[in-house]
Amino acid sequence: MNTGTDFAKRLSKFLSEYLPYDRNMSPNTVASYRDTFVQFIVYMKDIQKIRVEQLTLDIITRQRILDFLSWVQKERNCAVATRNHRLAAIHSFMTYLQYEEIHHLDEWQRILSIKAMKDEKKSINYLTAEGIKLLLDQPDITTRNGRRNLALLALMYDTGARVQEILDLTPESLKTESTPYTIRLFGKGRKSRVVPLIGEQVVILKRYMDENHLFENCKLKHPLFFNSRHEKLTRAGVTYILKTYVDMARQVTPTLVPCIISCHTLRHSKAMHLLQSGVNLVYISYPNKKIILTFKVRYQIFNLITCRKFGLYLDYFPLLNNADSFSMSLPHFCGSDLVFSSSNDIIAFACISIVMSRYSIVVVN
C-alpha cells in the first residue's frame, strides 16, 4: 500500500529537517513556508481538482506555479508582497529538490527562473507628537488592563520595536535598576539589540511590573505582557488593543489620527519624531535597520524638512563643510523627471542619494 507520494515525503523532509537544521532557519520562517504550501495544496485541491494524496512531484510545473501565484493575487486578493513571499518559499523548495530529485532538474530550474514582481512602495503613515499623546491618553489607568495597555503602547513607541519583539519580551530583558535604563530586543533575523529607555517610560513600566509581581525571580522568564489567562499576548491581540484606542482617539480629534494605523505605525512615528528633533539619520537608522525618510521617484513628490537638518552634509561630505548657510531647494517633477533649481542642488541631491541608495525608499508627507 502506498503510504505517501514523493511530494509528501520531500515536503515533510524540507519543512522538518532541511529548513530548521540544514539551513538553520528560524521557526517564523519555517511557519511562513509551511503556510505557503498549505495554500498551494488547497489551490491544487479546489482549483486543479487534485487531492493531496494524488499530488506528486511530476505534477508540479512552471505553469502550475504561475497559475497558483496568479490565484493568490486575483482570487485571494493578496498584495504583490504576499505573492513574492509565496514565490520565495517555492524557490527554496525547488533549490532543495535540485539535489534530491535530479531527474526533474530541468523543471525545477524553470520554476526557479520565475521572477519576483516589482512592488510599488507606498508612503508610510505616522502619528504626530500630538497624535501620540492623544493615543496614550486613551487607556483607562484606573483599570488593570488599562495600565497594561498604556505600558504596552508606550513601550512600543519609545523603543520603536516591532510588535513581535515586544511580545517576546520577558522581565529579564529590562535593566531598570540604575541609569542608563535599557531594554534588550530580540527580533528579525534572530538579532538582538539594546535600546535606551526614557525615565517617564520606566516609571510606567515599573508601576505595571510591580502590580503584576514581575520583579520576582520566579517571573523573570514570564512574558512581560500577558492576557487574563497569563499567556503571552498575540499579534492579533495587540492589534485589537491598538485599534480600540485609535478609534477612541479618532472620536476626540479626527485630524490627529491617520485613516490607516498599524502597530508598525508607532515605529515609524518614533523615527519621524527623532528626525524632527534634530537626531542624525544615521543614529535613527542604526537601531531600526532601515532609513525611513527620503523620496520616491515617479510616484510622489517628497517632502523633507530641511536637508541641513539631516546632518548628512557636514558628517559625510567635506565638500560642503564650509556651506554654513547652505539650503537646498526641493526639486519638482516635470513628467517623470526631477527638475533642480541649481547645480548645487544637484550635488546635494546626489550626496543624499549615495547615502540612501541601500535603504528602502518611501515617502513622508
C-alpha cell at 220: 523573570
Cβ contact 160:127 at 8 Å: no
Predicted confidence band of residue 191 (pLDDT cuts 50, 70, 90):
confident
| Domain coordinates in residue numbering, the chain | 6-112, 129-267, 293-365
6-112: CATH architecture: Orthogonal Bundle (1.10)
Start-to-end CA span in the chain (Å): 64
User: 364, 292 in Cβ contact below 8 A?
Assistant: yes
pLDDT at 90: 97
Distance CA 42, CA 313 (A): 54
Kindly give the interhelix angle for 62-74 and 105-112, rounded to the nearest 10 degrees: 30
Please count the other Cβ atoms lying within 10 Å of the Cβ belonging to residue 67: 14
Percent of the chain predicted with pLDDT > 90: 58
Band the pLDDT of 4: cuts 50, 70, 90.
low
**Domain covering 129-267, topology:** hpI Integrase; Chain A (1.10.443)
For residues 114 and 10, give the distance between their C-alpha atoms in angstroms, rounded to a whole number: 21
Band of residue 282 on the pLDDT scale cut at 50, 70, 90? low
| pLDDT above 70: percentage of residues in the chain | 75
- In eight-state DSSP terms, residue 254 is G
**Which of 351, 355, 235, 224 minimizes the C-alpha distance to 284?**
355
What pLDDT score does 65 carry?
A: 97
More confident position, 35 or 286: 35
Nearest one of 81, 86, 48, 60 to 5, comparing CA atoms: 60
Angle between helix 129-136 and 263-276 (nearest 10): 140
Grid coordinates representing 14 are 524540507
Same topology for domains 6-112 and 129-267, yes or no?
Answer: no
- Dist CA 273 CA 267 (whole Å): 10
Q: Span 204-214, mean pLDDT? A: 94
